[in-house]
A and B are shown apart, each in its own frame.
Chain A
C-alpha cells in the first residue's frame, strides 16, 4: 500500500482524493458530508433513487481504509435475531440431549454450558462493535426504508451507545464506534429522530460530466467516444417520463454490455438490443423503443459532440 489511509481524513480534498483512488467520483457536497460524518463520528445517512451509488460509498470507504465492510440488508420484520445475535438453537438442543444422558445435570450447569460464546451466532450489528484492526469496520445499514419502525427504534438505541446487551453473557461495548453508513431509497420517510442523529446527504442523479467520468473510470475498455455517447444518451433518457429512470449502476452495466458486444459507437440497433440493461420495466422499454430512440439519440449526439 503506497498511501497510508487516515481516518478521519485530514481535509475534504484529501478525502476526495482517497475516494478517487478507489475510483469513486464524489462531488464536493457528498465529500463534505462524508468528511463531517467522520469528524463528528456520526452515521452518514444517504438518500437517493435506486442505483445512484449509495451503497458504493460504504464499500469505497472500507476499501480505502482496508477495514472490513459489515453489511446489514434491511427487510420488513428484521429483528434482533437477524440483526444482532442469535443462539444456535439446534446445537443447544443437541447439547441438552447430551447433558441429559449424563447423570450430573443440574439447572445451573445447563445454563452455564448452553449459553456460551460457542453457541452464539453473531449478526452484523454485533460484529460491527468487535474491532480487530487499526480502524473500526464500516457498518453498512442498507435500505433502512425496507425495515419496519420497530427495528428503527432499536437502531436508534444501538447508534447512540454502540453496545449490545446479551442477558446470558453481559454487555459488549465497542472500543471505537464503527463507521456507519445508512442508505435509503426513500420508499418511505424514515423517522426524523433517526435522521437527526446522522449527517444527511441526498445523492442526485449525476450530470453529464460526472456520469462521463464515472463511465470512463469504471468500465474497462470503453473508448472516449462511446463513453461520451453513453453518458449523453442516459442523460436524455432521464428527461423522459418513465416509471423508473436509469441509475448509474444501469449506465455502467449498459456501457459494459456495449463494450462486450464490440459496439464502438452508439446506434439505434445497438440500443434496441441492449435496452433491457438500462430500463427494467416492460412499459418503459415499450414507450422508448422505436422512433423515440432516434430522437433521443439525435439529441444525445448533439450534446456529446459539443
Chain B
C-alpha cells in the first residue's frame, strides 16, 4: 500500500512497512510538521515549517544543519553536548579536550574546567571555581589560582615624557623630576594591590611614594631615586592584584 498524506488522526507505524516512502509525510493538520525525503536515502525532520534535523544517506545526523560534517553535528547556540546524570556535569569533548561544567558536587560545585590530553584530573589546564577564582596550569605541574596584572605602562620620562605602551592606564602625571602618578583607566577593586617598577641605570630605585598618602584605587604615585630624583628614558611599572 503506498503511503498517503495523513491529515488527521494517529499515524499507524505499520504503514512504514511499505517498501518505498516518497515525498513528504505530514504529521499535523497544517502540513508544516513532519518528515521529508529531500534526496535519495535522506530524512529531514521539520517542525513549524523549519527543518530541525537531518539524517543523510551515509547515516550522519545534523541538528541545525543540512550538511553534517561528521557522525553527529550540531550547529546553533546553547548546544548541550552531554549531561552526565550520575555526576550532574555538562561535558563537551573535542578530540583530546574535555570541557566540564559542574552544577553540583563538593569542591567542584559550580566549577568550569578544561582538561587536555586525556580524561584525568592531572590534565586540568583551566578552571573557574565555584567562588569565581580563575585557575590554570601553565605547565609547571599543578593548577593554581592566577593573579592578574591589573595595569602596566612603559614610558619615557625624559625630554617630552611620553607613554610608549600601556594597559589599563589612562595617563601618567608628570609631577616633577623623577616623580609621576600612574592613573588607571579602570579603578582597582581596592588599595591592597602590589606595585612593581623598574628603570635603566644601576642603583636606580623605582618606588611607590608613601602609598598611604598618595595612592588610591585610581592612581599610584611613583618616584625614581638614587640620592636624588631622576628622569629616565625607560620606565616600567606594573600593578598586580
Q: Are A and B subunits of one complex?
A: no
